[in-house]
């Protein structure tokens, strides 16, 4: 069954490179990745808010291992949560196993146990592990305490929020070079200054506006097309900001519900 589940779309997204993370805010994380490359560390744990580039970074790290003639696989628990949990039992042959969206299994003891056993088997086989979640391991409400202990043993880094202009500029220029895309400087500058700060949202806007120029030569780009692109950036940025507000509100509501539940389940002190 596990082998059948591995036929899912688990390939590395090759549109990712460590060069995308050349900004100053990423230096400590990239240093840790270099230690992962040479085997100085066996695990790495990354956390941060949604759309801050965690999944893109995981793909880039896996790609860097493949470039070193090592094997790597990147899995999103958000995609696997409704499949056979035994999918995690056939991964020990990979040099690097990257597990994204850990928070998805907060209420799933079966997947927590499977992840715990994967960590143990990977240690025995001297395989390396990479984790990403929206919060530190210490804040994951996993029922399996031994799993939390295993995760807490990995060097942990919070990914940059994207508020640093230099981080966004380095990533944007790297992606444009790799994809061979060329935009008028007015568009890229506007995207960097007025567009979304979160890396994931910025990349979504970039993918949204690129088709507007796919059939145009640089000499054919009119002021009207540029104006349309700037307007599209504004519209998509507003949509991203509204999504952020809705998500933050949901997080606050979940936290309030958790506090309320805790208060009502605490033992009485006589």
* Cα torsion 1, 134, 60, 29: sign: negative
Residues contacting residue 240 through CB under 8 Å, at least 6 positions apart = 51, 196, 198, 201, 204, 205
Whether the per-residue pLDDT at 264 is higher than 60: the answer is no
Q: Please give the pLDDT value at position 111.
A: 96
Q: Which residue bears the tokens 């509204």?
A: 242
Contact 94, 127 (CB under 8 A): yes
Query: Angle at the Cα of 70 (from 33 to 9), degrees rounded to 5?
Result: 90
Q: Is the pLDDT of residue 114 over 60?
A: yes
8 has pLDDT over 80: no
Percentages (nearest 5) of helix, strand, coil residues in the chain: 60, 10, 30
Place 182 in a pLDDT band, splitting at 50, 70 and 90. Answer: confident
Q: Does domain 16-156 have CATH number 3.40.50.300?
A: yes
From 83, 76, 136, 130, select the one nearest 100 (Cα to Cα): 76
Higher pLDDT, 264 or 201: 201
Query: How far apart, in Å, do the first and last CA atoms of the chain sit?
Result: 53
Exposed, middle or buried: residue 135 (CB in 10 Å: 0-12, 13-18, 19+)? middle
Domain boundaries, the chain: 16-156, 180-249
User: Of the ranges 198-207, 234-243, 247-256, which one carries the lowest mean pLDDT score?
Assistant: 247-256
Please check the confidence at residue 69 and state whether its pLDDT lies above 50: yes
User: Is the pLDDT score of 266 beyond 80?
Assistant: no
Complete DSSP assignment for 98-151: EEE-GGGGTT-HHHHHHHHHHHHHHHHTT-EEEEEESS-GGG---S-HHHHHHH
Phi-psi region of 195 (alpha: psi -120 to 50; beta: other; left: phi over 0): beta
Q: With 90 as the cut, is the pLDDT of residue 153 above it? A: yes
Q: Please give the model's pTM, rounded to 2 decimal places.
A: 0.83
Q: How many Å separate Cα 218 from the centre of its chain? A: 33
Q: Is the pLDDT of residue 218 over 80?
A: no
Those residues whose C-beta lies under 8 Å from the C-beta of residue 25, and which sit 6 or more positions away, are 160, 164, 166, 167
DSSP character for 153? Answer: T
Q: What is the mean pLDDT of the chain?
A: 85
Residue 85 has pLDDT above 80, yes or no: yes
For the chain, what percent of residues have pLDDT higher than 90? 65
pLDDT at 254: 55
Condensed to tens digits (0 to 9), the pLDDT of residues 15-26 reads: 789 999 999 999
Contact status, residue 162 vs residue 53, Cβ threshold 8 Å: yes
The percent of residues above 70 in pLDDT, for the chain, comes to 84
């Amino acid at each position: 069954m596990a082998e059948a589940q591995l036929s899912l779309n688990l390939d590395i997204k090759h549109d990712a490179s460590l060069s995308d993370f050349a900004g100053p805010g990423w230096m400590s994380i990239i240093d840790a990745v270099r230690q992962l490359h040479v085997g100085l560390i066996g695990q790495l744990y990354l956390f941060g808010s949604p759309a801050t580039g965690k999944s893109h970074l995981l793909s880039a790290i896996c790609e860097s291992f493949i470039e070193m003639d090592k094997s790597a696989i990147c899995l999103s628990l958000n995609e696997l949560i409704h499949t056979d949990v035994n999918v995690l039992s056939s991964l020990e042959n990979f040099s690097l196993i990257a597990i994204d969206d850990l928070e998805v299994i907060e209420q799933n003891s079966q997947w927590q146990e499977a992840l715990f056993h994967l960590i143990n088997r990977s240690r025995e086989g001297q395989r390396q592990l990479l984790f990403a979640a929206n919060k530190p391991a210490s804040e994951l409400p996993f029922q399996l305490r031994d799993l939390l202990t295993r995760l807490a043993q990995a060097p942990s880094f919070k990914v940059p929020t994207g508020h640093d202009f230099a981080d966004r500029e380095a990533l944007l220029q790297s992606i444009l070079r790799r994809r061979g895309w060329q935009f008028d400087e007015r568009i890229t500058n506007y995207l960097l200054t007025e567009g979304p700060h979160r890396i994931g949202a910025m990349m979504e806007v970039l993918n949204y506006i690129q088709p507007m120029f796919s059939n145009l030569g640089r000499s054919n780009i009119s002021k009207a097309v540029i104006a349309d692109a700037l307007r599209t950036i504004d519209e998509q940025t507003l949509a991203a900001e509204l999504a952020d507000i809705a998500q933050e509100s949901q997080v606050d509501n979940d936290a309030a519900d958790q506090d309320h539940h805790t208060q009502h389940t605490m033992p009485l002190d006589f």
